[in-house]
Amino acid sequence: MLTALPNSHRLARSRVATHNNSSGAGSPAVAEAAPEQQVVPLYSGQRAVVVGAGPAGSTAAMFLARQGFSVDVFERRPEPKQDAVDTGRAYIIILIPRGQAALKELGVPLPSQREFITKGTVRHDRKGKVGISREEGNVTFSRSSLAQYLIDQARQRYPSQITFHFDSACAGVNIEQRQVSFSAAGGGQVQRSYDLLVGADGAGSEVRRALQQHYPDMQVTIDDSGREYKVYGGVRGDIEPEEFKKDPGATLHLWSSDDPWTTVTAHSNPDGTYSGTFSLKTGGFADLRTAADYEALLRKKFVGVPDDWVPAIAQQAAAATPSPAGKRVRCSRLDGPGVLLLGDAAHAVTPVFGQGANSALESCKVLGSVLAEAGGDASRVPQLFTSARLADMYALNELDAKAYSFFRRRGLLDPDFLQLLSHVLLGTILSKLVPFLYGPKPALLKLGSTTPYSTIIAAVKRDSLMAAVGFAALGVWLSFKLAAKVMVGA
């Protein structure tokens, strides 16, 4: 499965430029929009405030405006196309059907140019062996270009209902009075009253902090990925396998080393260059001071990275500041009076499964369903949202945590690794023997679909239990056989 991976300035800027020149149906860069699902506005005259103008915030704003809300979106950073820091820390987001579903429901078109459509992943192991997996149909963006594209779509679709305010950091939330304050770009503060407040302000959410103060028993767990990365870009080379040279499309290359934390990635850009990341365990970059240090480590750790890329990667990495590779957030609730959390503020995950942005957009789609269910009563929306979404977010958090067993590399001694392995092995066997009962493949391999995360984790636990019972039964049977043989021999 393709994962969300850090990216470089070059790809961020090129994708922003491409999408900003594409304003809708008939454009050469985007497919014709699917018809937006028509709804009867239920919240006309009511005001919503969204904190955060990332992909989740802008998408949530469109679902709110579609239902009649007047929406103010506040973002602490500049608009992405004007934010050099944002493009510098950008990373690749690959929209899978889970994330695409929300945009399709809104009628937001996705890119149709082949260089934005994924072909698959090329894995280069530490011995130089190359493996290929095809994963066609997904759509690639840089994080900053996706954020800008959705901002543009929100403005175009709801010009009189959605207003964006940039360089405006959340300064406080008064939950009792339903007011939120922001530090204005020009100095001072502005306040907004709201009927519904949506916290889509990332893993360090101020809205979530206000909920924790309102509910002292609210539990929030934040875990770090344990990895950090630096970006590079602008390199060229003939690195595609023959299978991928026949037709254009976006590809992702992954180089592994002798330890799971140290990796190099490269993804193809529309302009023919490659950009990517160099990742180490947190703190690892502190030991590298010069471009020569980076070059020596790259040559020692990796096989198959083009020889002329190594100096370029080393020079760019030596001049860059490392960025953390994601956090994992788990909240005991997603709501308060007139307030709800979604996206990284509610359920951030690491890039390991590529679910961060996709789960955030799916949460926006759930919000759309909840708005309809609440029937125009904004006070009912937050609790309904928690009821509809919390179990799946717990499941996603658990799946993401289990995936880090691959980094720990304890093998069969790691219960999380053993659970995932037994699910995939047993599921693969059952999908071949009884596909009409089990399905076409193990549930863990359906993360790219719209299968609920709670369904996936339940299948992982069920299959691992079945495998454990099966092995135990086999052990008992072998013990009886051996005992019988010993008795006969006696």
pLDDT tens digits, 257-291:
999 899 999 988 888 899 999 999 999 999 999 99
Looking at per-residue pLDDT, the higher value among 29 and 324 belongs to 324
Q: What is the pLDDT of residue 23?
A: 36
Q: How many domains does the chain have?
A: 2
Q: Which of 37, 15, 11, 34 is nearest to 24 (CA)?
A: 34
Tell me the two tokens of residue 35: 């018809």
Q: What is the pLDDT of residue 31?
A: 56
- Please check whether residues 454 and 427 belong to one and the same domain: yes
Q: What is the pLDDT of residue 471?
A: 74
d(CA 453, CA 456): 5
Residue 444 falls within a domain, yes or no? yes
- Cβ-in-10-Å burial (0-12, 13-18, 19+) of 97 comes to middle
- Please check whether residues 455 and 338 belong to one and the same domain: no
Q: What is the pLDDT of residue 35?
A: 66
Q: Which of 37, 246, 55 is nearest to 136 (CA)?
A: 246
- Please check whether residues 378 and 442 belong to one and the same domain: no
d(CA 299, CA 57): 42
Q: What is the pLDDT of residue 37?
A: 66
d(CA 200, CA 345): 6
- Please check whether residues 59 and 9 belong to one and the same domain: yes
- Please check whether residues 357 and 485 belong to one and the same domain: no
Q: From residue 297, give the alpha-carbon distance in Å to each of 354, 384, 477.
A: 27, 51, 51
Q: Round the average pLDDT of the chain to a whole number and report it.
A: 88
d(CA 345, CA 393): 12
267 Cβ partners below 8 Å, 6+ apart? 5, 7, 11, 92, 140, 250, 251, 252, 253, 274, 275, 276
CATH number at residue 335: 3.50.50.60
Q: Three-state DSSP class for 319?
A: coil
> 344, 360, 393: which is the final residue of a domain?
393
> 359, 393, 427: which is the final residue of a domain?
393
- Low-confidence winner among 41-55, 380-394, 429-443 (lowest mean pLDDT): 429-443
- Please check whether residues 388 and 415 belong to one and the same domain: no
- Please check whether residues 98 and 228 belong to one and the same domain: yes
Q: From residue 80, give the alpha-carbon distance in Å to each of 12, 51, 143, 150, 450.
A: 10, 15, 9, 11, 29
b/e map of 466-484 (b: 16 or more CB within 10 Å)? ebeeeeeeeeeeeeeeeee
- Please check whether residues 427 and 385 belong to one and the same domain: no
Residue 215 falls within a domain, yes or no? yes
240, 292 in Cβ contact below 8 A? Answer: no
**What is the distance between the terminal CA atoms of the chain, rounded to a whole angstrom?**
56
- Please check whether residues 101 and 166 belong to one and the same domain: yes
CA dihedral sign, ordered 384, 385, 386, 392: positive
pLDDT tens digits, 438-464:
999 999 999 989 999 999 999 999 999
> Which runs of E-coded beta strand occur in 202-337?
220-224, 227-235, 250-256, 263-268, 274-281, 323-324, 327-331, 335-336
What percent of the chain has pLDDT above 90?
A: 68
Query: Would the pLDDT of 138 be above 60?
Result: yes
- Please check whether residues 335 and 441 belong to one and the same domain: no
400, 416 in Cβ contact below 8 A? Answer: no
- Please check whether residues 436 and 475 belong to one and the same domain: yes
The phi, psi pair for 47, rounded to 5°, reads -115, 135
pLDDT tens digits, 398-435:
999 999 887 777 777 789 999 999 999 999 999 999 99
Residue 288 falls within a domain, yes or no? no
d(CA 350, CA 370): 27
Residue 382 falls within a domain, yes or no? yes
- Please check whether residues 478 and 339 belong to one and the same domain: no
Please report which residue ranges of 31-173 form alpha helices under DSSP H.
55-66, 84-88, 97-106, 143-157
Q: Which of 141, 168, 137 is nearest to 152 (CA)?
A: 141
Residue 196 falls within a domain, yes or no? yes
Residue 92 falls within a domain, yes or no? yes
> Which runs of E-coded beta strand occur in 75-224?
91-95, 118-124, 130-134, 139-142, 162-165, 169-174, 179-183, 189-193, 196-199, 220-224
Q: What is the pLDDT of residue 12?
A: 37
CA dihedral sign, ordered 362, 334, 174, 224: negative
409 Cβ partners below 8 Å, 6+ apart? 260
Can you tell me the mean pLDDT for 287-308? 96
d(CA 190, CA 170): 10
Q: Which of 369, 312, 316, 377 is nearest to 106 (CA)?
A: 369
Q: What is the pLDDT of residue 32?
A: 55
Q: What is the pLDDT of residue 9?
A: 33
Domain around 415 = 410-489
pLDDT tens digits, 194-217:
999 999 999 999 999 999 999 999
> 364, 393, 422: which is the final residue of a domain?
393
Residue 302 falls within a domain, yes or no? no
Neighbouring C-beta atoms of residue 188, cutoff 10 Å: 8
Query: Would the pLDDT of 3 be above 90?
Result: no
pLDDT tens digits, 231-258:
899 999 999 998 888 877 889 999 999 9
Q: Report the range out of 32-36, 87-91, 114-118 with the highest average pLDDT.
A: 114-118
487 Cβ partners below 8 Å, 6+ apart? none
Q: Which of 209, 196, 260, 231 is nearest to 88 (CA)?
A: 231
Looking at per-residue pLDDT, the higher value among 218 and 470 belongs to 218
Neighbouring C-beta atoms of residue 410, cutoff 10 Å: 12
Residue 202 falls within a domain, yes or no? yes
